[in-house]
Amino acid sequence: MIELKNLHKTYHGENGSLDALRGVSIHVQEGEIFGVIGKSGAGKSTLIRCINMLERPGSGSVIVDGEELTTMPERQLREMRKRIGMIFQHFNLLSSRTVYDNIAFPLELAGQSAAEIAAAVNPLLDLVGLADKRNQYPAQLSGGQKQRVGIARALANRPKVLLCDEATSALDPQTTHSILELLRDINQKLGLTIVIITHEMQVIKEICDRVAVMENGLVIEEGSVIDLFVRPQTPTTKEFIRTIVSHDLPDVFAGLPFTDTPQPGSNLMLRLSFIGSSANEPVIAGLIRRFNVDVNILFGNIDHLKNTPFGTLLVEVSGDDAAIQSALQYLQEIELGIEVIGYVARNARATA
Amino acid sequence: MSQEMLALLLEALGETLYMVAVSAGIATVLGVPLGVILVSTSRGHILQNLWLNRILGYIANATRSTPFIILMVAIIPLTRVLAGTSIGTNAAIVPLSIAAIPFVGRVVESALREVDYGLIEAAQAMGASPMQIIRRVLLPEAMPSIVLGLTLAVISLIGYSAMAGAIGGGGLGDLAIRFGYQRFRVDVMISTVVILIALVQLVQSAGDLLSRRLNKK
Ligand SMILES: Nc1ncnc2c1ncn2[C@@H]1O[C@H](COP(=O)(O)OP(=O)(O)OP(=O)(O)O)[C@@H](O)[C@H]1O
Ligand SMILES: [Mg+2]
């Protein structure tokens, strides 16, 4: 549905130029919720604004719904933009218009009649749950309600794509949750393709199917949200995951002398991630039975990635040195998310 | 005060209102587009055109920095062409309008600049053309500030119109000079001043009220 190929964008300012995008390629499938996460200044907003040409990329290609946008003449581009909805961090509602008239705005721009507008706006008011606020002005609404108006407005032209730039960053966690739920609902009901820009892993975790991680104008990691959580490749991604899945070691282990390689007579500390059905397999029991090792569970946590259960276990494997290695090999083979934290001398905990 | 004087005062008030209303109307019709152009052609804005922006900016500044009394005399030839005469209320309307157009232009410019650029981008994202953005986003959103600015312009015009009286423009200023000053009629002088003060108060209150009504923020 959206194909970005090798996008470059350089801003020329008074104090030199800045490469905001340095060759970004992304393919967003029809009907999916695609997340882009990155720290401040990574180039996320620049990227999403290139999708509807609010920002013109220096080079590269932007294809939305089969049409190349970078070479499109202005007039045609305006028509194209009506098929791409967008919502903003600060809502950008017209303060001089009521809720109803804000939602009607894009339809007025398109030259629709009052009757056509009413037929489109009324169901949207119901969809976002603001039918009773139709005659209020934005100043009288809460942040979450304003974003609902923003969403309804973005949907008025029945777009195929919805772009969300930090749409929940100005909202509290509860409101964020309800807005994300609304977006997920819309995605399912209308089959809308959604691109979400965020710096909050919580947003990715709650509703995204796939995700790209950006840093310094580049996509440094991309894949399904599940893959990202189970097998994060880059330190940045790991850091983001750590913001919602605690990776802190229990107090008694913090500060112990870990080594990366097995030492004679040491225990292996592992972090295991379980996804979906694998969360139900008796992995730990199997481990103990097959390899004659002891498994001590230090920490456990169960969460959801969109609708998929996702668990994390922190375990300490002890036993014969060779047995520990076979157990490790087995775990690596069965496609579990596994991270070796290190080896720690068997008696270190007692003496610590 | 005699019946006769009262009639004169009323007539003068009528002339002042006529001059101010017509020149405010002209200044609005031409000054609002000027303000729109000054904003929309500026750097990074929807119709960026730096040359046009600079030239209009210079003209507006030059007009605004010329003292009104000098402007009025300086453009007498133009006034003759446009009004057919250089004295009387119709003649006064020419310099009054010319002084007020850049004033309104600048006032509208600053009102439009207050509009959050995010609103413009939101409209662009919906496929709005520059004209649609101006008419449906910029002007309505800035309307409360524009009304306050126009109020200020009208009040300035009331003051200028009294000055126009000095060169035979008619109106309250003319009356005050001819009777109050040259014939030592203190009562006429005081009456015109009181009427002018009341007029300014009235315009200011009406402008404030309207602006507040329009402001939904
Ligand atoms: N209009 C602009 N002119 C100059 N530099 C810009 C402009 N817009 C963005 N930049 C710069 O480009 C880089 C990327 O900006 P961008 O807004 O895309 O980052 P972001 O990932 O969205 O960050 P944030 O999370 O803070 O919104 C930043 O270093 C920013 O300062
Ligand atoms: Mg941003």
Q: B144 vs chain A: nearest CA distance in angstroms?
A: 9
Write down the pLDDT at residue B97.
95
**By the 8 A CB rule, do A266 and A346 touch?**
yes
**By the 8 A CB rule, do A54 and B121 touch?**
yes
Mean pLDDT of A212-224: 95
Torsion of CA A194, A199, A205, A211, to 10 degrees: 50
In this prediction, what percent of chain A has a pLDDT beyond 90? Answer: 63
Write down the pLDDT at residue A256.
76
From first to last of its 217 residues, chain B has per-residue pLDDT tens of: 688 888 888 999 999 999 999 999 999 999 999 999 999 999 999 999 999 999 999 999 999 899 998 998 899 899 999 988 888 888 999 999 999 999 999 999 999 999 999 999 999 999 999 999 999 999 999 999 999 999 999 999 999 988 887 777 788 888 888 887 777 788 888 888 899 999 999 999 999 999 999 999 8
A81 and B214: CB-CB below 8 Å?
Answer: no
How many CB atoms neighbour CB B162 within 10 A? 22
B122 and A92: CB-CB below 8 Å?
Answer: yes
A54 and B129: CB-CB below 8 Å?
Answer: no
- Provide φ and ψ at A196, rounded to 5°: -120, 125
Mean pLDDT of A251-276: 79
- Report in angstroms the alpha-carbon separations of A287 from A275, A298, A334: 18, 16, 12
Distance CA B172, CA B174 (A): 5
Distance CA B203, CA B123 (A): 34
Q: B214: nearest CA in chain A?
A: A96
Q: pLDDT-derived band of residue A289, with 50, 70 and 90 as boundaries?
A: confident
Distance CA A192, CA B55 (A): 48
With CA atoms as reference, report the closest residue to B154 among B210, B91, B79, B216: B210
Going from the Cα of A202 to the center of ligand 1, the distance in angstroms, rounded, reads: 22
| A contact test, residue of B47, B119, B126, B212 with most A CBs within 10 A | B126
Q: Which residues on neighbouring strands pair with residue A12, listed in sequence order?
A: A17
**By the 8 A CB rule, do A167 and A147 touch?**
yes
| B contact test, residue of A50, A95, A97 with most B CBs within 10 A | A95
Going from the Cα of A15 to the center of ligand 2, the distance in angstroms, rounded, reads: 21
Domains, chain A, in order of start with CATH, read 2-242 (3.40.50.300), 251-351 (3.30.70.260)
More confident residue, B112 or A313: B112
Report the pocket of ligand 1 as residue ranges, CB < 6 Å: A 11, 13, 18, 20, 38, 40-46, 199
Per-residue pLDDT at A325 exceeds 50 = yes
Q: A99: nearest CA in chain B?
A: B216
Among all bound ligands, the one having the nearest atom to the CA of A20 is 1
Distance CA B60, CA B187 (A): 40
Going from the Cα of A203 to the center of ligand 2, the distance in angstroms, rounded, reads: 15
In this prediction, what percent of chain A has a pLDDT beyond 70? Answer: 95
**By the 8 A CB rule, do B181 and B162 touch?**
no
Per-residue pLDDT at A295 exceeds 90 = no
More confident residue, A84 or A256: A84
- Report in angstroms the alpha-carbon separations of A345 from A218, A267, A327: 41, 6, 18
Buried b (16+ CB within 10 A) or exposed e, B64-86: bebebeebbeebeeebeeebeeb
What strand order describes the sheet that includes A266-275? Answer: A294-305, A308-318, A266-275, A337-345
Write down the pLDDT at residue A260.
82
Among all bound ligands, the one having the nearest atom to the CA of A37 is 1
With CA atoms as reference, report the closest residue to A287 among A248, A316, A257: A316
- Provide the CA A167 distance to its chain's centre, in angstroms: 12
Per-residue pLDDT at A220 exceeds 90 = yes
A to B CB pairs, distance under 8 Å: 64
CATH number for the domain spanning B182: value is 1.10.3720.10
Mapping DSSP to helix (H, G, I), strand (E, B) and coil, where does residue A206 land? helix
Write down the pLDDT at residue A350.
53
B214 and A96: CB-CB below 8 Å?
Answer: yes
What single string gives the DSSP state of each residue in B70-125? HHHHHTHHHHHHHHS-SSSHHHHHHHHHHHHHHHHHHHHHHHHHTS-HHHHHHHHH
Q: Which residue range forms the structural domain that includes residue B132?
A: 3-214
Q: B139: nearest CA in chain A?
A: A96
B125 and A109: CB-CB below 8 Å?
Answer: no
- Report in angstroms the alpha-carbon separations of A223 from A193, A213, A218: 17, 9, 15
Q: What is the mean pLDDT of chain A?
A: 89
Going from the Cα of B140 to the center of ligand 1, the distance in angstroms, rounded, reads: 30
Domains of chain B: total: 1
Going from the Cα of A336 to the center of ligand 1, the distance in angstroms, rounded, reads: 37
Query: Looking at ligand 1, which residue's alpha carbon is closest to its atom 11?
Result: A20
**Residue A126 identity:** D
Q: A150 vs chain B: nearest CA distance in angstroms?
A: 10
pLDDT 10s digits, A41-95? 999 999 999 999 999 999 999 999 999 999 999 999 999 999 999 999 999 999 9
Q: Which helix (H) or strand (E) holds A119?
A: helix A114-127
Q: Is some CB atom of chain A closer than 8 A to the CB atom of B137?
A: yes
